Amino acid sequence: MRRDLLLIALLFALSFLFFGDVLRPDGDEMIFGRDLFNLFHPVHDFAFSQVAAGELPLWNPYLFLGFPQYAEPQMSTFYPPLWLATFLPIGTVYALLYALHLGLSAAGGYMLVRVLGGKPPGALLAGFVLGFNAFMVSRLYGGQLSHLMTITYLPWLLAAVIWAIRERTWTATLLAAVPLGLAFLAGFAPFFPLLVGTLFLVMLVMAIQAWQQDGPLSSARVLLQILVLGLFASLLAAIQLLPTLEMARYSNRVAGASYEFASKMTLPLTSLVRILMPDLYGSPVADASYWAHTPFNGYWEFAIYVGVLPLLFYVLSWPYGKRQWRYWFVLGLFGLLVALGSAGVIHRILYTLVPGFGFFRIPSRIAYLFVLAAAILTGLMFDYWFDLPDDIAMRARKYLPRVLVVGSIILLVLIVLSVFWQAVQTDPEQLSRTEGITGQLVRLLLLGVASLAVLIWGYRLGRWRLTIITLALLMIDLWGYGNKLVFLEKPEPELGWQMANLALPTDRNTYRVITEGLLKNKGYFYGFRHVDGFDDFRTDSGLQLAELAAWDVRLTRLLGVRYLLIGDEAQNPGTDVPGWQVLTEPAGVTIYDREDWEPQAFVVHDILEATDENDSLELISQPELDLTKTAVIQVMPGAHCSIEPRDRGVNRVDILSYEPHRVVLETEAPASAWLILSDLYYPGWNAFIDGNQVPIQPTNHGLRGVCLPGGLHQVVFEFQPRILIYGILLTGLALAVLIVTLAIWGMRRFTPARKK
């Protein structure tokens, strides 16, 4: 036990050593990551500022006409490690979170190998591979924080499940639910099917084994344990899962997705070669840029490199490993085939047969199963290589030297050809690419020779001496790949937003902007409220309104858009859309405005009733309908409003206060009317007129509307999501059960009778 703890501590120490000075950023510096800079930093900054002000970050008014940030799972609102940001600079927090989770991933790999019967040396190597493979490390450059935090818990989950089933106690079953609950809170939803699906596969294998060994009752117990584990994990994370499920009902994925959507970013067959040479197609941070014929983010989405020696162990596990380990080999192969999309056949079968599978895109991420399998087999095979039966050892000693010689000759020939091809290049770009290819071939040759030497002759050195040498080889291999992807950079303000901040009025609660060619989320840092934003998971109605507003001037006015900002790199649509006038053209942006913009809140005296969302979308799309005079409402059951025409007098709506979770208006109308607030309609918002609650009804396909009596009134909109209360109660109950379970388990584990 003490040795296990020391080796796990070593893996954490290596993780923090890997990040080095990145853990101590200066000033405004942060660890670089594309999504970290463009997506997470703005929304996390909003969340942390809300917490500092004593509020929960529930509703973000700066993006998507407002959106329920707490319900978007990848914002990780209720994930405890993210709360570090309340006490530390955000740049330090991000680096610490990465270091912590790579260490957790490595420790999870160690524990899984130990649970599977592996010895400490092999478990140490497996943990290192699982923490620092290309799938994990390349996502640092991609800035995919929630991805890493979520997938970190898969090895812990598998280790906990196997342990709980062997313990055959309900206390162990409840404790084993903790990794899955934390993964749910970490929040990258596209990895949830991977977690649950892998758990399901392990459950089937263990249930079959239990049936074969002890009969159907034992198998049924295994199934019941897994069911209880999944339920308890869901209760632990209910504070996040319930709001997410509610948002899913209104999201842009509620109607399912085509296979074209579900198969977007499948692993190309040409990227399989990156299993051997991770930077064959260049690197986004090296001299030769990433030049593969795939999207730029394919560099990290298609990264499946685990190291040369782990790949050898994976391949050798089938002919030389124990028969029961072939499950991991098959699991890894299954992951690669699913990642290939339609080229691997299995992905389309899952899309057709598994409900909800089509909601998630980028199948290449399923290749993590290959990474997991390669790491686990590295740990198991490393120790087993010392104890090979004589006949198997003789076969290995016969064939591996031949592989070394033949493989070296092939690679040397390829290197020579690459050098000759490099010598005849005149185009600088092609020269850079061929230099990179030559470098990758040389790298593969050196690491391949070293890895095969470990397998052929290294086992004469003794177990721990060889462990140290192998760990050093893996550090040269995997850290040599990953170090270039870890660096500090100061998030530079975007020039277009800076100029807009100087040029436009500061009362930004009274208008919205729409942009092209600027990073949409970064307007938050200057207080701008955007019709759109950067996030794949959002409300369907908000997405449709944003898309319509891009070209339909009636929708632009309806949503309170006063300015159109066009970055220098964008195709300029301002002259093509009627009503826009150039206001100013400072460096980095062209700013258009319109004189006929409507304020964010206004009153109309004419309504049209829609039967459902599709009907409302069709009605507001009619070009002859003036949406500043007529409201399209979806009448809720039991709601009734008598609208009177405005024969005389004027309507007035003043915004007295606009805060993320509370909007206060003062209205005056000569007759009963319909009040429209051009913020997103969403459950949890309540409206009060002079202190009396009134129903909010979906208006103009996704905005908020209430029936307004004539006269002078104060109208208050407050965000009080009931679903969050339910989630808090369920999570609180589950935590209480967990504490009691821990106490019971601890007493049983550490009492003298138990020790004896």
Residue 548 has pLDDT above 80, yes or no: yes
pLDDT digits (tens, 9 = 90+) for 395-430: 887 899 999 999 999 999 999 998 988 888 778 878
Taking residues 46-55, what's their average pLDDT? Answer: 89
**End-to-end alpha carbon distance in the chain:** 16
Query: What average pLDDT does the segment 347-356 reach?
Result: 84
| Residues 26-45: tens digit of each pLDDT | 888 899 999 999 999 999 99
pLDDT digits (tens, 9 = 90+) for 69-120: 999 999 999 999 988 777 888 889 999 999 999 999 999 999 999 999 999 9
Q: Can you tell me the distance from the alpha carbon of 187 to that of 43, in angstroms, rounded to the nearest whole number?
A: 15
| pLDDT digit string, tens, across residues 316-338 | 999 988 988 999 999 999 999 99
Mean pLDDT for the stretch of residues 647-661 = 85
Percentage of the chain beyond pLDDT 90 is: 51
Q: The dihedral of CA 706, 710, 716, 722: what is its sign?
A: negative
Q: Which residues of 530-540 are buried (b: 16+ CB within 10 A; e: fewer)?
A: bbbbbbebbbb
Which band of pLDDT confidence, cut at 50, 70 and 90, is reported for residue 286?
low
pLDDT digits (tens, 9 = 90+) for 688-710: 999 999 999 999 988 999 999 98
Q: Residue 18 has what pLDDT?
A: 96
User: Which one of 335-339, 645-649, 746-750 scores highest in mean pLDDT?
Assistant: 335-339
CA atoms within 13 A on the CB side of 690: 9
Residues in the chain, overall count: 756
pLDDT at 645 over 80: no
pLDDT of 613? 84
Q: What is the pLDDT of residue 122?
A: 94
- Region 718-722: what's the mean pLDDT? 95
CA atoms of 50 and 44, how far apart (whole Å): 10
Cα–Cα distance measured from residue 555 to residue 209, given in angstroms and rounded to the nearest whole number: 61
Q: How far is CA 315 from the centre of its chain?
A: 31
Buried b (16+ CB within 10 A) or exposed e, 729-742: ebbeebeeebeebe
Residue 756 has pLDDT above 50, yes or no: no
Supply the mean pLDDT for the chain: 89
Tokens coding 1: 């036990």
Asked if 683 contacts 636 with a C-beta cutoff of 8 angstroms, the reply is no
- State the pLDDT at residue 648: 66
Report pLDDT for 646: 67
The residues, any chain, with a CB within 8 Å of residue 219's CB and separated by 6 or more, are 207, 208, 210, 211
DSSP H helices, 26-144, are: 34-35, 41-52, 90-115, 120-132, 134-142
| pLDDT tens track for 499-525 | 999 999 998 888 899 988 889 999 999
**Region of residue 267 (left: phi > 0; alpha: psi -120 to 50; beta: else):** beta
The whole-angstrom separation of Cα 559 and Cα 424 is 59
List helix spans (H) across 478-601.
480-482, 495-503, 540-549, 553-558
Round to whole Å and give the CA distance between 543 and 703.
12
Is pLDDT at 736 greater than 70 in this prediction?
Answer: yes
Cα–Cα dist 722/682, whole Å: 12
Least confident of 256-260, 288-292, 370-374, 493-497: 288-292
Give the pair of three-digit tokens for residue 72: 């978007």
Own/partner pairs, 173-176, CB within 8 angstroms, 24+ separation: 173/225, 173/228, 173/229, 173/232, 174/228, 174/229, 174/232, 174/737, 174/738, 174/741, 175/738, 175/741, 175/742, 175/745, 176/229
Separation between Cα atoms, residue 182 and residue 143, nearest integer Å: 20
- Closest by Cα among 42, 37, 69 to 55: 69
Q: What is the pLDDT of residues 160-210, one digit of tens each?
A: 999 999 888 899 999 999 999 999 999 888 898 889 889 888 888 888 888
Which band of pLDDT confidence, cut at 50, 70 and 90, is reported for residue 576?
A: low
Q: Is the pLDDT of residue 577 over 80?
A: no
DSSP-derived pairing of the beta strands 711-719 and 662-669: antiparallel
What does the DSSP 8-state code read for residue 537? S
Average pLDDT (562-575) is 73
- Beta strand 711-719 with 685-689 is antiparallel
Q: Is the pLDDT of residue 256 over 60?
A: no
Residue 575 has a pLDDT of: 52
Q: What pLDDT is attached to residue 295?
A: 67
Single-letter amino acid code for the residue at 303: A
Going by C-alpha positions, the residue among 703, 672, 665 that lies closest to residue 685 is 703
Return the number of other C-beta atoms located less than 10 Å from residue 212's C-beta.
Answer: 10
Give the position of tokens 């004469």: 460
What pLDDT, in 10s, does the model give residues 589-635? Answer: 889 888 888 888 999 988 888 888 889 888 988 888 888 888 899 87
- In the structure encoding, which two tokens stand for residue 659, read together? 């805060």
Closest Cα partner for 152 from 167, 173, 130, 168?
Answer: 130
pLDDT bracket for residue 254 (50, 70, 90): low
